[in-house]
Amino acid sequence: MSSDTYLTTSDGSPMQLVRVSPTHGDGPWPALIFCMDAGGLRPELTEMAQRIADESGVVVFMPDLFFRLGSIYDLLPPGTPRTMASFGGFLQTPGARELWASRFQRPATALAYLQDIGEVVLAAIDADPQVVPGPVAVTGYCIGGHVALKLAALLARVDTCACFHGGAIVSDQPDSPHRLADRMHARVYIGGASADPSYSDAAQVALSEAFTAARLDFTLELYAGRHGFAVPGHPSFDAPSAERHYAVLRELLSARSDS
């Protein structure tokens, strides 16, 4: 069952939050923060959240990571269909990737911005009578996978973090997620796409070295397909890889309840 609400952030801005609880039962259940992909909040993600809630017995909280930034579809030329396929094509045009990065990617992954989002969402979780008090899990897709890793570093209560086809999770920036490993206290799972230029062999080595140095419990795995394999409606959606991702989440979230 899903519902929408608006939370007030530190500067007074309203932030949409989609809350999804299991279809059956009264709870209380553990909380999971779901970090959206670049396409923003939409029915396909709510359907994903509902399946995760039902299969894993969690209450899912999905914030609008672009609440101060608008919609990526505003970058498209007038008259272009507002779809992920159109946006993917747009990114292949000259200057488009830098425009996306300057308008959305960098602002939406800034640590201070994410600290604000994390604290507001945790407050909503703590006020929810259907949620078990205590640690929370986080999962994310595309840019949301990047965000999930940063939230694991920023929020001490995150004990499980899953990142699927995460975007730019290894870079030369000082706030690159892999450089924040020593601030994490979570079990970390990263499911990368085998055909994703941003998830190179070198990136996997950098992640492994950073997580090992931080003494984290972590798993790095490759999925057949391209960036976007887990999200229905994405041009790169791959049903077998998506099913594998749901099975992994069930295992990760079940292991939390057994510990």
Asked if residue 259 has pLDDT above 70, the reply is no
Q: Which of 124, 220, 123 is nearest to 169 (CA)?
A: 220
Residue 257, pLDDT > 70, answer no
Q: Which CATH number fits domain 2-258: 3.40.50.1820, 3.40.50.11240, 3.40.50.1220, 3.40.50.720?
A: 3.40.50.1820
Calpha distance 149→166 (Å, rounded): 9
Is the pLDDT assigned to residue 209 strictly greater than 90? yes
Q: How would you classify the pairing of strands 158-164 and 131-141?
A: parallel
Q: Kindly tell me if the per-residue pLDDT of 65 is higher than 80.
A: yes
| Nearest Cα residue to 8 out of 111, 129, 117, 107 | 117
The pLDDT of residue 91 is 87
Alpha helix (H) residue ranges in 74-132: 84-90, 96-100, 106-108, 111-126
**C-alpha–C-alpha distance, residues 232 and 31, integer Å:** 23
Condensed to tens digits (0 to 9), the pLDDT of residues 142-155 reads 999 999 999 999 99
- Rounded CA separation 89/12 (Å): 35
pLDDT of residue 212: 98
For residues 1 and 55, the model is more confident at 55
Q: Given the structure tokens 């995760």, which residue do they identify?
A: 52
Tokens representing 117 are 């989002």
In sequence order, the 6+-apart residues with CB closer than 8 A to the CB of 79 are none
Split at pLDDT 50, 70, 90, the class of 235 is: confident
DSSP state letter for 77 = P
